[in-house]
Structure 1
Amino acid sequence: MVRGLLHTSNLPQLQNLIKRDPVSYKEEFLQQWNHYKSTRQIFQINPGEQPSHFRELVTFISQVAPFYPAETSEFPSHLSSLLLESYSSLSPDIRHSLLQNLVMLRNKGVITSFDLLKTLFPLLPRTTSSSLRAVIQKTILTDIKTANQRTKNHKLNRAVQAMLFGMVERGMDGAVMGDKGKLRSNPNTSAEGLSNSGDEAMWAVVLTKELWKKGVWNDAKSVAIVALGCFHPVTKVQSASLHFFLGNDEGSEDSDDESDGDTINVRSVEHKREIKKKTRGGDKKIRRILKTASKKQKRKNVGDTPNFPALQLLRDPQTFGEKLYDLLQKYDARFSLDHKILIMQLLARVTASHQLTVLGFYTYVLKYLTHHQLRAPAILAVLAQSAHALTPPDALTPAVRKLAHEFVHPGVGPEVVAAGLNAIREICRRQPWAMEDDMLGDLIAYRKSRDKGVMVAARGLLQLYREVNPGMLKRRERGKTASIGMSQGNQPTPFGYVEKPAADIEGLTLLEDHLRATHGEDWGSGDEEDEEEAWEGWEIESASSADSSDSGRWIDVESDGGDHLNFSESDGEDGKSGDKIRKDDEPPGAANRTSTLATTKILTPADFAMLNDLRIKAASKAVEDGGGTAAKRKLASLEATKKAASSGAADDTTAFISESDILGPRKKAKADYEERVASIARGREGREKFGSQKGKRRKETPSSSTNREKARNKPIMMIMGSKGVRGKKKQSLHEKQKRLRAHIERAKKAYH
C-alpha cells in the first residue's frame, strides 16, 4: 500500500492502521491534526462557514486520541468550547457529532466524568431540539449511574451536586412571577435572563429527581437541591420541586407531553383511526396517544404516595415550613388556587412528619373553609393533615368551629355535611382537645340522618370520643365500654403527653404458641439453613443497596445463653394492670404474659406474615363469639392492613389523608363506556357468538328444532299469507280482548 493515498478521503482506513501500529503512522496523524487545527481556525474566524469534512476529522481524532495523548491534550477542550461558545451557529449535525465524540472520549478514558458533565449541564437549557435534549439527559443519567454502580463515587457526587445547587441558586434573586395574571420580573433582571435561569433550575431539579428515583442519590444534599427549588421565583420550578416531596412526577419536564392525558377521548381517537387512511405512521401515533392516556389514568388511579425519605432528610424542617408559609402568604394574589394547594399540601405533610408548629397557617386557611370553595375536599384534607398531637388546641378550635358552621347545617347537601364531619373527625383524631363540648353534642346528633355518608361520619366522630375522651359525651352516648373505663378511673390523654414506647409486639404470643404447637418444644433450636429458607422469597433489594456491600443484610448475632430481658414484671403487682394491655385478638390465656420470642429469635418476613394471619384468625373467632362492634372493627382493620401489604403499599401511607377520606363512603358512580363494554365482555365468556344459554343447553343433547323456532326464522314474505296472520287481521275487538285476557292469565300462572 502506498502511503500517499492516505488523504482525507481515506480516514477510516488510516484510523484502522493507526490502531494497529500507532508509532509507525504518527506522521500521517500529525498531518491530519494540522489539517484539523487550520480548519478550526477558519471556523473561529467565520462561524457561518462549516466545512463538510470537519465532522469526519473530529470523529477520526476522537477515535485515535488515546494513542497520542500529548498531541491531543487540548482536543477535548476544543470540542467543549465549540459547543458552549458557538452553539447557536453550529448546524444540528455538527452539534450531534461533537456531543457523540465527547461521550466517546469519556468512554475511552481521555476525559473524566466531571469534565463531560461540565459541558453537558449548560447545554440542557440552551438546546431546542427534543432529540438532542433527550440524548444529553440520558447521557448524564447513565454516566452518573455508572460511576456509582459498584460503590458510591462521593467525589463526583459532591461535585455534581454543587453544580446543580449552583444552577438553582443563580436564579433565586429574581422576583416571584406567579402563575396568574401578567408575568412579573425584577426590573434589574431581564425577562430573557429570568427565563434562562428558570430553565437551568428546572433541569437541575429534573435531573435530581431522576437520580433519586433510580436510587443513585439518596442523601440530604440531593434533597437540599429540590428543597431550594421550592422557593425559586419561577413557578414551574416550584411546582416540580413541590411534586417531588408530594411523591408524584407531575410538574416535571418529562410530564409536559402527558399533561393532556385526562382530556384524551379514547373512543374518538380509535374512531378517527378506523375511518381515516391506514398508514404506518398513523398507527404509531395512535399507539403513542393511547399509551400516554393509559399511563395518566393508571397514575391517577394509584394516587400519590408521599416521598417519606425526602421529608425525613430535610435539614431544618421548622425553617422550611415557615418559609413555605411565608411564600404562601406573601404571594397569595399571584398564585393560582391549584398552586397554593400544592404548597399547603407540602406544608401540611412536613408539619405532620416532624410535628412542627406553624400557627399562622391555621389563621390563613380559615378563608378557604367554605362549602362553595373550589377543591374544598383537598383543602379540608390539608387542614386535617397539618394537625398533630403537639398542635395547640387554641389554634385548631377556630378552624373546627368554622367547619361546623359552614359545612354541617341543614342548608347544604348531605355530601357537604359528610365532608365537614369527616374533616372534623380527622382533626380531632390528631388533637382531641380542639373540640368543644356543646359543639360535639350538635355534631353527633347527625348519626340519625337518613343519608348513609352523614350517618357514618357522625358515628365515626362519636366512636372517636368514646375512645379518647368519653367525659365530653352525655352519659347515654358514652357506651358500655367507655362507661366501664370511666368508672375504673381511666383518664383522657392530656395535651402534650407522649405515650410510653411499646414493650411487646401485638399478638406475638399467638405466634409463639403456634410455633410451639407446630415444632414442639425444640422449635427455637433451628440451624442456619432453616433461617435461610425462611428468608427465601422475601428479600427485597433496597434503593441504598449500592452504598456498600453489607447494606440491606441482617447481621448474625450469637446468643450467649444468658438470661434474656423479661418485661412481664412491668405489668404491676399480681398482674392487675395486665388486663389493660390485653389485645383484642389474643386468647384469654395470653392476656397476662409478654412473649419473649422477639428476644430469642430474629423474626423473618414469613414470621410476620404468619403473625398477621393468626391475628386475623383470632379476630374472626372473637367476632363469631359475640365480641361486638369493637371486634368487627378490629377484624376490618387487620384485613385492610393485609390487603395493603399484599398490594405493595407502604405502611406509612396510612398516616396521610386523601380526599377520599374526607368525602367518605359514596354511592357507586355511573359506569362509563369502557366499564360497560368490559362488563358485557365478561358476560359473554364461555358463550358462542350471538348464542343464548338456552340454545347452548339444547345443543348438548341432539334434537330437532320445534315448529315455533322454524317459524321465527322464516322470511316475512313466506308467512304474510299464512292462516295465522290473516286470522289476526280479521279479528274483532271482542276477540282481541279475549285473547289478551287469556295471555295475562297464563302469565300470572307462570309467575306464581
Structure 2
Amino acid sequence: MGRGLLLTSNLPQLQNLIKRDPIAYKEEFLQQWTHYNSVREIFKFNPDEQAQNFRELVTFISQVSTCYPNETKDFPSHISSLLLDNYGSLSSDMRKTLVQNLVMLRNKDVISSLQLLKTLFPLLPRTTSSTLRSSIRKTILSDIRTANLRTHNHKLNKAVQAMLFSMIEQGMASEIVGDKGKVRAAGHTTDIQGGEEAMWAIILTKELWKKGIWTDAKTVSILSLGCLHPTAKVQSASIHFFLSSEDEEEDSEKEEEDIDVKALQHRREIKKKTRSGDNKLRKQLKTAKKKKQQKAQSTPNFPALQLLYDPQTFAEKLYDILNTHDKRFSLEHKILLMQLLARVMGVQNLCVLGFYTYIVKYLTYKQLRVPSILVSLAQSVHDLTPPDALIPVIRKIAHEFVHPGVASEVIAAGLNSIREVCRRQPWAMEEDLLGDLIEYRKSRDKSVTAAARGLLRLYREVNPNILKRRERGKEAAMDTAKGTQPLPYGHSAEAAVDIEGLALLEDHLSKLREEDGVSLDDEDDENAWEGWDEDSSESGSESEGWVDVEDDNNELVISDSEDEDSMKGRGEAAPKTDSGETTKTSLLATTKILTPADFALLNDLRLQAASKAAQGGSSQAKRKLAELESSKRSNGGPNEDAFISENDILGPRKKAKADYAERMASIQKGREGREKFGSNKGKQKKEAPSSSTNREKARNKPIMMILSSGAVRGKKKASLREKQQKLRAHIERAKKARR
C-alpha cells in the first residue's frame, strides 16, 4: 500500500520505473490513465480547475505512451481536439504544454508528420504568443525538411501543399476593401479580419522555397494564388517573392522598417557623447548602408517566373486587379503589381495590351516614384510586343519628359526610358520623333548627352534606315550599302549553327593537350562535372534517367552542314561572331559533352578575345567588351537583359557630397606609404631632431601680434617695484654670464 501511494503521488518516479519495466508497472499506469480521463472530462467544462494536475498527467502519458501503444492509441487525438476545439479557452501554459507533448509524440513516431501538421497549421493564425508562434513555425519547417532530407516525400508534400492551398482559398471569395489588410466577406455587410491564414501559408511556402526544400511548380502555384488574394498584405508578400530572390527573414507580425539615418545622427548630436555610442551609431549606419545596397542590387526570382502555370491567364488577372481597384490601392501597392506584371510579360513574352493604356496616365515627371513606373514599362516590352501599342506610350514620354521646360535630369530619364523600350522593340519608334530626340546629344548637360547618344547608337545597330544619312555612322552606312536590312516585326532570325566562342575553346584545349598532355576522355568529362551537378529531384522533375525517343518514319535528321549549305544557297549572311573571334565552325560540340566548367572557360576566352580586339580602337569592339563584362558581373540567366534598375533610367548623375566617414577614409588612404605629416623646421640642423621652442617662435612673431599679447600688456601695467625687481634680476644674470 505504501509503495502504491508513493508511485501515485510521484509521477516522475513512476515514469522512470515504467520505462525500465513496462509490464511490472502496467497496473499503476492504468490507474493514472483512468485518473487522466476523469480530469480531462472535468477540464472540458472548467479549464481553470485542476489545470496543473492535468498538465502533469499529459506530460506523463506522453513520455510513456510508447510502452503502452494499445491503451494510449486515442491519446494524440485527445490533445489535437483540445487544441483545435478549445484553443481560445486554454491558458498560455496549457497551450504550450499541449503543443510540446504533441511534438514529443511525433519525435517518438507515435503520430505521423501529417497528423502533426494538420494540428499545427490552424494554430498559427490563432496564436497570440510570439514565443509559441515561433516554436510552431520552426517545428513545421524542420519536420518538412526532415521528411525530405534523403529523398522527396511526395505523399507528405502533396498533402501539405493541399492544406496551404486551402488556407489561401478560404479568403478568395471576399471583397477587396483596400490595402489596409481587411476584407469583407461576400454577402455580409460587416467587416471581418481576413488573410491571417493565407499570410502564414505564404510565409511558410517562401521559407521552404528559400531553404531549397520545395522548388517545384506547385510551390510557385501557391504563391501565384497569393498574388491574387483580396488582402493587400497577402498580395504584397507574394509579389515580393517573385520580384526578389534575396534571402530575407519574414516577420510574422510586421515588416521590418528601414533605418532612419537622419534620426540616428540627430539623436547622437543631442545625447551625451560616449565611445560606445559612437560605435553603436557606426554599426547602425553600416547596416543601413548594406540594406540599401542589397535593396538596389536585388535580382528577380527568375526560376519562379519560369515555373508559372498558365502565365497568360495569371498576367490578365493581375491586370484586372490593378485596373479594377486602382482607386482602392495605394501608389506603393500599385507599383508592386505593375512590376510583377511587367516582369511576367517580359520573361514569358506575353501581351497584355491594356497595361500600356493603363500606364499612360502615370507617365508624367511630376508623378511620385516615376522611375519605378518607367522601369516597369520597359521590362514589359519584348520583341513580340505590337509596335502600335507602344507608339502612343513613347509619344507621351517624349511629350512629358523631353522638352526644354524641365530639368536636365528629367530629360535624361525620358531619353533613357525611350531607349530601353526601343531596345526591346525597335519598330516602336517614329522617324521624325527619333530625329528630334537625338538632337539632344548637343546638350551641355552630360547626362542628357549620354542618353541621346545611347539612343543614336542603338538605332545605328538595329535600324539605321530611319536615321538621316549623316547620322548613321561609318559601320551602319557600310551595312546599308551592302543591302543589310533589319528583321521586320514578327520575323525571327535563322537558327544558330554554332556556339559563339566554341572555336576559341577548341584551340585552347588543343594547346593544353599539346603542352601538358591533357586528355579529353570520358573520365575527364566526369571529373569536370564535379561541383557543378545538381540533384534532379530538386528541380521538381520526378522523371529519372534518359527518355527514349522513337523515330518511326526516320524524320529526325540533324545536320549542321545542311543548315550552312541552305543558308549559303539562299545568300544569307552567317551569324555574327564576337569581336576578335575566328569565324571557323568548331566540331567540339559534336565530339565532347560540354560541362559548366567548359562554358565558364569559354566565357573567359571570349572576354580575352574581345579585350584584344578593343585595343584596336573599334567602337563596336569596345561595346562588345562592355557587354561581356556586364554579363559576367551580373551572372544572370538567359533573360537577364529583361530586367533593369532605376539607375538605368536615371542615367549617370553628379556624385553626391561625401559624408564625414567617407572624407576621413579618403584622407587615411592618402596618408598610406607616407612619412608622418608635420613641420620639418629645425630638425635638420640639430644633432637630435626636435622642433623650435616657444621663445624662438616668439622672436619671429609680427609686431601687431606682440602688442596685444599678455606679456606686453603686463609690462605696461607693472608697478615701479616690479620693474626694479626685473631689472635687478637681469643685472644678476648678466654678471653670471660674464663669469
TM-score category of the 2 structures, normalised to the smaller one: 0.7 to 0.9
Partner of 1:539: 532
After TM superposition, list the pairs within 5 Å mapping 1:174-253 onto structure 2: 174-179=174-179, 185-186=184-185, 188-189=187-188, 194-195=192-193, 197-247=194-244, 252-253=250-251
Cα offset for 1:523? 7.3
- In structure 2, give the amino acid aligned to 1:638: L
Cα offset for 1:640? 2.0
Partner of 2:713: none
Q: Are 1:630 and 2:620 matched, yes or no? A: yes
Contact 1:243–1:251, Cα closer than 8 Å, also in 2: no
- In structure 2, give the amino acid aligned to 1:241: S
Q: Secondary structure at the match of 2:184?
A: coil
Q: Percent identity?
A: 60
Contact 2:179–2:232, Cα closer than 8 Å, also in 1: yes
In structure 1, distance between residues paired with 2:13 and 2:271: 50
After TM superposition, list the pairs within 5 Å mapping 1:256-295 onto structure 2: 256-262=254-260, 265-267=263-265, 293=288
User: What is the CA deviation profile of residues 541-565 of structure 1, one whole-angstrom value per residue up to 9, with x for unaligned ones?
Assistant: 5695487999899xxxxxxxxx995
In structure 2, distance between residues paired with 1:317 and 1:40: 53
Structure 1 residue runs without a partner (length 5+): 554-562, 733-752
Partner of 1:455: 449
Which of 692, 712, 717 in structure 2 is aligned with 1:710? 692
User: What is the CA deviation profile of residues 132-188 of structure 1, one whole-angstrom value per residue up to 9, with x for unaligned ones?
Assistant: 1111111111111111111111111111111111111111111102127x9663473
Kindly tell me: are residues 575 and 581 of structure 1, through their superposed partners in 2, closer, same or farther at Cα, counting changes over 3 Å?
farther
In structure 2, distance between residues paired with 1:290 and 1:477: 49
Contact 1:508–1:597, Cα closer than 8 Å, also in 2: yes
Cα offset for 1:206? 0.9
Contact 1:223–1:314, Cα closer than 8 Å, also in 2: yes
Contact 1:418–1:454, Cα closer than 8 Å, also in 2: yes
Which of 318, 325, 330 in structure 2 is aligned with 1:324? 318
Partner of 1:558: none
In structure 1, distance between residues paired with 2:16 and 2:686: 80
User: What is the CA deviation profile of residues 506-546 of structure 1, one whole-angstrom value per residue up to 9, with x for unaligned ones?
Assistant: 1211121222233239978533443355445x426569548
Larger mean Cα displacement after TM superposition, 523-532 or 471-480: 523-532
- In structure 1, give the amino acid aligned to 2:332: D
TM-score normalised by the chain length of structure 1: 0.84
Contact 2:164–2:222, Cα closer than 8 Å, also in 1: yes
Kindly tell me: are residues 390 and 528 of structure 1, through their superposed partners in 2, closer, same or farther at Cα, counting changes over 3 Å?
closer
In structure 2, distance between residues paired with 1:110 and 1:244: 36
User: What is the CA deviation profile of residues 65-89 of structure 1, one whole-angstrom value per residue up to 9, with x for unaligned ones?
Assistant: 1111111111111111221222222
In structure 2, distance between residues paired with 1:276 and 1:624: 55
Larger mean Cα displacement after TM superposition, 309-318 or 287-296: 287-296
- In structure 2, give the amino acid aligned to 1:595: S
Structure 2 residue runs without a partner (length 5+): 547-556, 709-739
Q: Secondary structure at the match of 1:59?
A: helix
Q: Secondary structure at the match of 1:440?
A: helix
Cα offset for 1:451? 1.3
- In structure 1, give the amino acid aligned to 2:425: Q
Cα offset for 1:262? 4.9
Partner of 2:35: 35
Cα offset for 1:62? 0.4
Kindly tell me: are residues 288 and 423 of structure 1, through their superposed partners in 2, closer, same or farther at Cα, counting changes over 3 Å?
closer
Cα offset for 1:693? 7.3
Q: Are 1:662 and 2:649 matched, yes or no? A: yes
In structure 1, distance between residues paired with 2:47 and 2:344: 53
Kindly tell me: are residues 251 and 216 of structure 1, through their superposed partners in 2, closer, same or farther at Cα, counting changes over 3 Å?
closer
User: What is the CA deviation profile of residues 618-659 of structure 1, one whole-angstrom value per residue up to 9, with x for unaligned ones?
Assistant: 222222234x211111111122223333xxx55643321221
Contact 1:306–1:653, Cα closer than 8 Å, also in 2: no
Partner of 2:721: none
User: What is the CA deviation profile of residues 466-489 of structure 1, one whole-angstrom value per residue up to 9, with x for unaligned ones?
Assistant: 122111111111112212212222
Partner of 2:595: 604
Contact 2:580–2:609, Cα closer than 8 Å, also in 1: yes
Cα offset for 1:612? 2.3
In structure 1, distance between residues paired with 2:93 and 2:688: 77
Contact 1:240–1:252, Cα closer than 8 Å, also in 2: no
Q: Secondary structure at the match of 2:195?
A: helix
Larger mean Cα displacement after TM superposition, 222-231 or 44-53: 44-53
Contact 2:114–2:160, Cα closer than 8 Å, also in 1: yes
Larger mean Cα displacement after TM superposition, 306-315 or 395-404: 306-315
Partner of 2:729: none
In structure 2, distance between residues paired with 1:40 and 1:256: 38
- In structure 1, give the amino acid aligned to 2:655: K
In structure 2, distance between residues paired with 1:671 and 1:227: 43
- In structure 2, give the amino acid aligned to 1:664: G
Kindly tell me: are residues 684 and 294 of structure 1, through their superposed partners in 2, closer, same or farther at Cα, counting changes over 3 Å?
same
Kindly tell me: are residues 293 and 465 of structure 1, through their superposed partners in 2, closer, same or farther at Cα, counting changes over 3 Å?
closer
Q: Are 1:84 and 2:84 matched, yes or no? A: yes
Contact 2:438–2:456, Cα closer than 8 Å, also in 1: yes
Contact 1:545–1:551, Cα closer than 8 Å, also in 2: no
Q: Secondary structure at the match of 2:150?
A: coil
In structure 1, distance between residues paired with 2:281 and 2:32: 49
- In structure 1, give the amino acid aligned to 2:213: V
Contact 2:214–2:538, Cα closer than 8 Å, also in 1: no
Partner of 2:718: none
In structure 1, distance between residues paired with 2:417 and 2:567: 43
- In structure 2, give the amino acid aligned to 1:640: S
In structure 1, distance between residues paired with 2:224 and 2:402: 38
In structure 1, distance between residues paired with 2:417 and 2:514: 51
In structure 2, distance between residues paired with 1:49 and 1:342: 52
Partner of 1:474: 468
Q: Are 1:427 and 2:421 matched, yes or no? A: yes
Partner of 2:677: 692
Which structure has the larger Rg? Answer: 2
Partner of 1:748: none
In structure 1, distance between residues paired with 2:286 and 2:329: 32
Which of 345, 350, 358 in structure 2 is aligned with 1:364? 358
- In structure 1, give the amino acid aligned to 2:66: P
After TM superposition, list the pairs within 5 Å mapping 1:47-446 onto structure 2: 47-179=47-179, 185-186=184-185, 188-189=187-188, 194-195=192-193, 197-247=194-244, 252-254=250-252, 256-262=254-260, 265-267=263-265, 293=288, 296-301=291-296, 303-446=297-440
In structure 2, distance between residues paired with 1:423 and 1:730: 68
Contact 2:183–2:231, Cα closer than 8 Å, also in 1: no
Contact 1:564–1:599, Cα closer than 8 Å, also in 2: no
- In structure 2, give the amino acid aligned to 1:71: E
Cα offset for 1:391? 1.2
TM-score normalised by the chain length of structure 2: 0.86
In structure 2, distance between residues paired with 1:440 and 1:340: 31
After TM superposition, list the pairs within 5 Å mapping 1:533-612 onto structure 2: 533-536=527-530, 538-539=531-532, 541=534, 544-545=537-538, 566-567=560-561, 570=564, 580-587=574-581, 590-591=582-583, 593-612=584-603
Kindly tell me: are residues 159 and 533 of structure 1, through their superposed partners in 2, closer, same or farther at Cα, counting changes over 3 Å?
closer
Larger mean Cα displacement after TM superposition, 599-608 or 235-244: 599-608
Which of 506, 522, 529 in structure 2 is aligned with 1:512? 506
Cα offset for 1:725? 4.3
In structure 1, distance between residues paired with 2:631 and 2:182: 48
Q: Secondary structure at the match of 1:484?
A: helix
Cα offset for 1:599? 1.2
Kindly tell me: are residues 387 and 150 of structure 1, through their superposed partners in 2, closer, same or farther at Cα, counting changes over 3 Å?
same
Larger mean Cα displacement after TM superposition, 606-615 or 96-105: 606-615
In structure 2, distance between residues paired with 1:337 and 1:14: 65
Kindly tell me: are residues 348 and 434 of structure 1, through their superposed partners in 2, closer, same or farther at Cα, counting changes over 3 Å?
same
Partner of 2:720: none
In structure 2, distance between residues paired with 1:104 and 1:251: 27
Would you say how many aligned residue pairs link Structure 1 and Structure 2? 697
Q: Secondary structure at the match of 1:157?
A: helix
Contact 2:567–2:574, Cα closer than 8 Å, also in 1: no
Kindly tell me: are residues 487 and 621 of structure 1, through their superposed partners in 2, closer, same or farther at Cα, counting changes over 3 Å?
same
In structure 1, distance between residues paired with 2:123 and 2:301: 30
Cα offset for 1:255? 8.0
Contact 1:262–1:297, Cα closer than 8 Å, also in 2: no
Cα offset for 1:54? 2.1
- In structure 2, give the amino acid aligned to 1:632: K
